Amino acid sequence: MAMMNVFRVRVSKEKLRAMPPNERALFVLLGHAANQINLFSKLVLFSTNKTADNEVEGMLSAGQTQLLLRMVIGVIHEAWSKVISKRFLSSSLARDYIPLIDQEGQASLEALKKLFGTSNVLSNIRNSYAFHHPYDADIEAAFDTAVANAEFDNSWDWYFSRSNYNSFYFVSEFIMLHGILNQIGEVDLDSAQEKLMREVQTALMEMATLIMALTVAMWRKHFGNEMDAEICAQPTDAPGLYEFSLPFFVEVPE
């Protein structure tokens, strides 16, 4: 397995303290948003890497993946609405920093503005199903959609084990998934999944590019055009991104 280099870059407390509070807050929030997006994105990938050995495990793993995907949608939307839109674009910082963002970052900013326009898929799901519990009317509509889907007449099940870690309230997620179909405006699960993944992947790519470009601009303004880095670790046993899998079933000690 190839060795990777992990670099440590130090920033003194004094330099951070010298930043204006609103710029320091944005600088911190950009890193926090990036960390959340990276974590949940990896978990979604890991959850899809394994082909299940049996039908039950496949169904529950798919349910697990859908839950994680909603978390990704939630953190992407929060990064846009609470950090980029509210704390950056709606403040005086936009006037100062937009001209300093490189061309690639500028393109990502415009792409995200378009993606998060009114009545978009990611905002609809975030506002109803990611970080939120839907209203009764939405649940009823989702239930009616699920009942009408004859393809899944044999999917109305709950799964329980002696450990909660291996239990899954599948019917709940099955109905929630059909609620998301209603939000997306699709009737076919495969088409909905393809549309949703396309939106999520685009948002992930553009958000990562924008956060990096804005961080670079802030770094150059406050810390200079160079950074002092040192190799602090050289792991050789890290699994491949598409080799490691997040299972559904786990062995739980008594």
The pLDDT tens digits for 152-167 are 898 899 999 999 999 9
Residue 161 pLDDT: 93
Residue 119 pLDDT: 64
* CA-based end-to-end distance of the chain: 36
Check whether 1 has a pLDDT greater than 70: no
- Per the CB < 8 A criterion, the answer to whether 211 and 28 are in contact is no
Q: Which of 50-54, 73-77, 248-252 has the lowest mean pLDDT?
A: 50-54
Check whether 195 has a pLDDT greater than 80: yes
pLDDT digits (tens, 9 = 90+) for 109-135: 999 999 998 668 888 888 888 888 899
Burial, 63: exposed, middle or buried (Cβ in 10 Å; 0-12, 13-18, 19+)?
A: buried
Check whether 38 has a pLDDT greater than 90: yes
Check whether 233 has a pLDDT greater than 90: yes
Residue 127 pLDDT: 84
- Using alpha carbons only, give the angle 46, 198, 126 rounded to the nearest 5 degrees: 80
Query: In degrees to the nearest 10, what's the CA dihedral of 30, 36, 42, 43?
Result: -170
- Specify the 3-state DSSP secondary structure of 159: strand
Q: Is pTM, for the whole model, over 0.95?
A: no
Confidence of residue 249 (pLDDT cuts 50, 70, 90): very high
Residue 6 pLDDT: 93
Question: Of 115, 79, 102, nearest to 215 (Cα)?
Answer: 102
Report the alpha-carbon distance of residue 200 to residue 197 in Å, rounded.
5
Check whether 190 has a pLDDT greater than 90: no
Radius of gyration of the chain (CA): 21
